[in-house]
């Protein structure tokens, strides 16, 4: 269950590019995240964005398999280019967010002892 809503389904390559461009700007710190959850924010946001990116990827792969997306189609180029890079960015941000949580818990444990 996600803490904030995202777009659903598929649109054309330009709209999908605009959608993930906004998410990239959040992950890079250019704009504020949709939630402020303290030390958990980066992990929560990147996990939600990763889930959305994988949803897009799955739907595009289904269309490719069914033959509704041709080899040179803009949606295929989007999936194999920008979307793939965005998925890697989300995974890196998720790992960094996880490390931040671990560090915060370690510091809390040190204070308690």
Q: Is the pLDDT of residue 2 over 80?
A: no
Can you give the pLDDT at residue 7? Answer: 92
Q: Is the pLDDT of residue 1 over 80?
A: no
CA-to-CA dists, residue 79 to 50, 67, 99, angstroms:
14, 15, 29
Per residue in 34-65, pLDDT (tens digit) is 998 888 999 999 999 999 999 999 999 999 99
Domain boundaries, the chain: 13-112
Which of the 8 DSSP states describes residue 72?
T
Per residue in 93-112, pLDDT (tens digit) is 999 999 989 998 888 887 87
pTM equals 0.89
* DSSP string across 13-55: HHHHHHHHHHHHHHHTTSS--S---GGGHHHHHHHHHHHHHHH
- Residue environment code for 65-96, b if the CB has 16+ CB neighbours within 10 A, otherwise e: eeeebeeeeebbebbeebbeebbebbeebbee
């Amino acid at each position: 269950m996600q803490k904030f809503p995202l777009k659903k389904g598929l649109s054309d390559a330009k709209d999908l590019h605009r959608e993930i461009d906004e998410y990239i700007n959040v992950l890079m710190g250019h704009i504020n995240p949709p939630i402020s959850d303290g030390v958990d924010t980066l992990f929560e946001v990147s996990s939600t964005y990763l889930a959305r990116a994988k949803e897009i990827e799955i739907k595009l792969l289904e269309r490719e398999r069914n033959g509704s997306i041709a080899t040179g189609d803009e949606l295929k180029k989007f999936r194999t280019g920008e979307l793939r890079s965005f998925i890697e960015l989300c995974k890196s941000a998720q790992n960094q967010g996880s490390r931040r949580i671990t560090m915060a818990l370690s510091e809390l444990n040190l204070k308690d002892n």
